[in-house]
């Protein structure tokens, strides 16, 4: 999902950086100091979890999990993902420096959108329906991210259109896997620690 430095056009980089900065600023404002350890530890957990490679036929995909990040953190997903991307770029050489803004925005905005779309769905009393909403959150976030990555490429020049389409097609298996995994994670968290997904404790009694 990372775009490297040098591929995107200047205006795309600038707009991406500005939008990401706005998102991070808003996310930081919404996150008070008491939640700092929580967001930090979760950011680390996602960093580790997003490196799990799952086999698909002869190849493998790694999870992105931005849907689950969004469901758990809401707007704080912006700073959390920016931090993860900085660490990846600086210490692992993934992505680049100037594209940090675009990459953050492409991954974090779908996370926040899925938070708003699915946060009621995952509190449904039937586990089946909640699981379906979880799957929508996981698959939807990856789909949106892929669309935005393809869009950033397509905006940078007509020559990238084929690459943009290829990105879309290549990520279809990721969307499927991500949907199943997120649904399972949501169902487990609902059982074990409902307040984590901002679900009131009494939902089980209802």
According to CB under 8 A, which residues from 41 to 70 bind other proteins? Answer: 41-45, 47-57, 60, 63, 65, 68
Q: Rule CB under 8 A: is residue 6 a binding residue for other proteins?
A: yes
φ and ψ of 56, to 5 deg: -130, 105
Interface of this chain with other proteins, residues 63 to 122, rule: CB under 8 A: 63, 65, 68, 72, 79-80, 82-84, 86-87, 89-98
What is the rounded distance in angstroms from the CA atom of residue 88 to the CA atom of residue 82?
10
Smaller CB distance to other proteins: residue 57 or 205?
57
Distances (CA, A) of 1 to 18, 120, 186: 20, 28, 23
Q: State which residue, 129 or 166, has the beta carbon closest to other proteins.
A: 166
Q: Nearest distance from residue 206's CB to other proteins, in Å? A: 22
Residue 141 or 185: which CB sits closer to other proteins? 185
**Short-list 181, 183, 159, CA closest to 64:** 181
Among 22, 129, 162, 172, binds other proteins (CB under 8 A): 162
Q: Which of 151, 166, 172, 204 is close enough to bind other proteins by CB under 8 A?
A: 166
Residue 160 to residue 122: CA distance in whole angstroms: 38
Identify whether the C-beta of residue 111 lies closer than 8 Å to the C-beta of residue 20: no
Contact positions with other proteins (CB under 8 A) in 182-201: 182-189, 192-193, 196
Under DSSP, the state recorded for 54 is: E
Start-to-end CA span in the chain (Å)? 41
Is residue 155 a contact point for other proteins (CB under 8 A)? no
């Amino acid at each position: 999902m990372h775009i490297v430095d040098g591929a995107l056009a200047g205006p795309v980089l600038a707009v991406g950086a500005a939008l990401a900065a706005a998102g991070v600023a808003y996310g930081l404002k919404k996150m008070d100091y008491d939640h700092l350890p929580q967001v930090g530890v979760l950011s680390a957990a996602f960093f580790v979890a997003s490196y799990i490679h799952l086999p698909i036929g002869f190849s493998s995909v790694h999870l992105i999990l931005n849907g689950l990040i969004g469901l758990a953190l809401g707007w704080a997903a912006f700073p959390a993902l920016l931090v993860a991307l900085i660490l990846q770029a600086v210490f692992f050489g993934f992505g680049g420096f100037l594209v940090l803004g675009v990459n953050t925005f492409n991954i974090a905005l779908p996370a926040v959108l899925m938070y708003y779309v699915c946060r009621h769905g995952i509190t449904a009393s039937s586990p089946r329906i909640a699981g379906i909403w979880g799957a929508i959150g996981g698959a939807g976030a990856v789909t949106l991210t892929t669309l935005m990555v393809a869009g950033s490429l397509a905006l940078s020049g007509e020559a990238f259109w084929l690459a943009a389409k290829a990105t879309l097609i290549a990520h279809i298996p990721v969307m499927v896997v991500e949907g199943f995994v997120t649904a399972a994670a949501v169902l487990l968290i609902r059982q074990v620690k409902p307040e984590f997904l901002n679900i009131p404790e009494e939902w089980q009694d209802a």
